[in-house]
Amino acid sequence: MKTLNKIVFALILISLMAGSIPAMAGKLQNQLVAESTLDQVMRRGVLRVGMDTFLPWAMKDKSGELVGFEIDVARRLAEDMGVKVEFVPTKWAGIIPALLTGKFDVIIGGMGIQTKRALKVNFSIPYDYSGMDIVAHKEKAAGFDSLEDFNKPEVEIACKLGTTAVTAAKKYIPNAKLRLFDDEAQAYQELRNGNVLAVVGNAPRPAYEAIKYPETMFLPLKSNFTKEPIGFAVRKGDPDTLTFFNNWITIVSHEGWLEERHQYWFGSKEWAHLVE
């Protein structure tokens, strides 16, 4: 009799637990949704975007307004979400820590998808691709036409601090001396002044600089020496937000909108009058 009572009690307990599992799962799901960045953005009515200035990804026009490929992407994203967009300019070296502390909701700033970065943040699927190029001083680097020409201890290369340009330079021209700058414009100014031999940077800016200052700069290579996928970066543990961004990128890619914007900002200089 005692054994039978124990069996009945066990069955009742199992039944009660089974009934509570869906409720617990539902509560957990609601909590995740309520805490997602996506839900917070929709309730706030503002998408906060972390970015830094890189020509032509994001830059200020003559009136001080932000323009560029990333600016177009963020504005279209916010428009499709039915919210406003707020740009939060942030120094590149500290942009991931700023995301993790909640200063903004997403990084949309030409960020290359890298393994080390992916340990700290989650990346969307690529919405664009970039690559590294090198622009050199016309007189000091005369005759240089390969990366190996720059891979010498006496060669000084300028890069923007915290960018994939630094990673690329260390990998492909490890023997060169690197000088790092917080502001990309400073790096190119040093090149124009002849204080460094070359600048490694995200295409197409090196090409633009060579076109703008042909008397002091030239492109020693025939093409970019790296190719890297570019993605949105979000905080970890937020599958709803990441899924939404992936879906949005897929939709506007198939529309041809991303390609059209890429062609305008990277394949032409139609926008040059906005900033020059």
| Digit-coded pLDDT (tens) for 44-92 | 999 999 999 888 899 999 999 999 999 999 999 999 999 999 999 999 9
Phi-psi category of residue 144: left, alpha or beta, with phi > 0 → left and psi -120 to 50 → alpha: beta
pLDDT tens string 192-202: 999 999 999 98
Q: What is the pLDDT of residue 35?
A: 77
Q: CB–CB of 83/119 below 8 Å?
A: no
Question: pTM of the prediction?
Answer: 0.74
List of domains in the chain? 38-129+228-275 (3.40.190.10), 132-218 (3.40.190.10)
As a whole number, mean pLDDT of residues 142-166 equals 94
- Average pLDDT of the chain to the nearest whole number: 89
Q: Which of 254, 228, 248, 238 is nearest to 171 (CA)?
A: 228
- What the block records as the tokens of 227 is 């190719």
- Of all helices (H) and strands (E), which one includes residue 66? strand 66-67
Residue 205 pLDDT exceeds 50: yes
**Residue 70 backbone dihedrals phi, psi, to 5 degrees:** -65, -35
Q: Which of 228, 229, 207, 202 is nearest to 218 (CA)?
A: 207
Side-chain-side CA neighbours of 259 within 13 Å: the count stands at 6
Q: Which amino acid is at 142?
A: A
- The residues, ordered by sequence, that sit 6+ positions from 153 with a Cβ below 8 Å of its Cβ are 175, 176, 177
Asked if pLDDT for residue 109 goes beyond 80, the answer is yes
User: CA end-to-end span of the chain, whole Å?
Assistant: 93
* Per-residue confidence (pLDDT) for residue 25, from 0 to 100: 41
Measure the CA–CA gap between 167 and 144, rounded to whole angstroms.
21
DSSP-derived pairing of the beta strands 46-51 and 84-89: parallel
The 10 Å Cβ neighbour count of residue 52 is 25
Does pLDDT of 34 surpass 70?
Answer: no
The pLDDT, as a whole number, for residue 66 is 96
Which of 71-85, 157-171, 246-260 is predicted least confidently? Answer: 157-171
C-alpha 146/C-alpha 163 separation (Å) is 22
Distance between CA atoms of residues 41 and 106, nearest Å: 11
Residue 153: count other Cβ atoms within 10 Å of its Cβ.
Answer: 8
Residue 162: which pLDDT band, with cuts at 50, 70 and 90? confident
